[in-house]
Amino acid sequence: NEGLSLSCAVHADDLALGPEDVRIPGGLAMSVNAVKAGTTVHVTGTLSGTARRQCVRCLKEYDDALWLPIVGEYQQDADLKSKPARRESSERSGEDEGTDDEGYVYTGEEIELADMLREHVILAEPMQPLCHDECRGLCPVCGQDLNVRRCECREEQIQSPFAVLKQLRETVQGQAKRT
């Protein structure tokens, strides 16, 4: 087994990350270990830094600390070509061919980490980024940031899509009581 450790700074441009993916104003610190076992290289490590996000409730931008564990496996390109087709075995076991993840590929003596790191950063993006758990958001009437102060708007009752069913049930129960 051969091993290699690497620590360096990585910028969003290095990972082909655009503002539509994630905004990383100051870059990321990467620390990885690569261990070669046969023709397979196992990469583990961390990626850390700060991402700039927009809160889904109040729409303010905030900085969010990132600390991502990195795990990846690289197969030598020649090994993948020489492997027998696994389609028959995946069809027998009911697996979808697209779910058979071979990991990443390398050719020669170099491993390109950018695609793997990019995937880790994008997959770590929260679905609903919040500036803090108790964020109160914006008033739906006037747009006031409710974290700063309450507004004078009357809270409108949002009618549930089940309100008609509730009214129907109350009507039926009222009729049943009369009989």
Q: Are 33 and 5 in contact (CB under 8 A)?
A: yes
Residue-level length of the chain: 179
Range scoring the smallest mean pLDDT among 7-16, 96-105, 134-143:
96-105
Residues whose CB is less than 8 angstroms from the CB of residue 35 and which lie 6 or more positions away in sequence, other chains included: 1, 2, 3, 41, 42
| The pLDDT of residue 48 is above 80 | yes
Q: Across residues 124-153, what is the average pLDDT?
A: 92
For residues 121 and 66, give the distance between their C-alpha atoms in angstroms, rounded to a whole number.
9
The more confidently predicted of residues 91 and 28 is 28
User: For residue 178, is pLDDT > 90?
Assistant: no
Q: Residue 101 — pLDDT band, cuts 50, 70, 90?
A: low
What mean pLDDT, rounded, does the chain reach?
82
- Average pLDDT on 73-101 reads 52
**CA dihedral of 49, 54, 60, 66, whole degrees rounded to 10:** -20
What is the model's pLDDT at position 85?
43
pLDDT above 70 as % of the chain: 82
- Collapse the DSSP code of 133 into the 3-class scheme (helix H, G, I; strand E, B; otherwise coil) and give the result: coil
Model confidence band, residue 79 (pLDDT cutoffs 50, 70, 90): low
* Stretch 96-109: mean pLDDT: 65
What's the pLDDT score for residue 158? 59
pTM above 0.75, yes or no: no
Q: What tokens appear for 12 in the block?
A: 């969003």
pLDDT for 98 beyond 50: no
pLDDT at 73 over 80: yes
Instruction: Find the mean pLDDT for residues 67-85.
Output: 76
Res. 50 pLDDT band, cuts 50 70 90: very high
Highest mean pLDDT among 47-56, 75-84, 90-99: 47-56
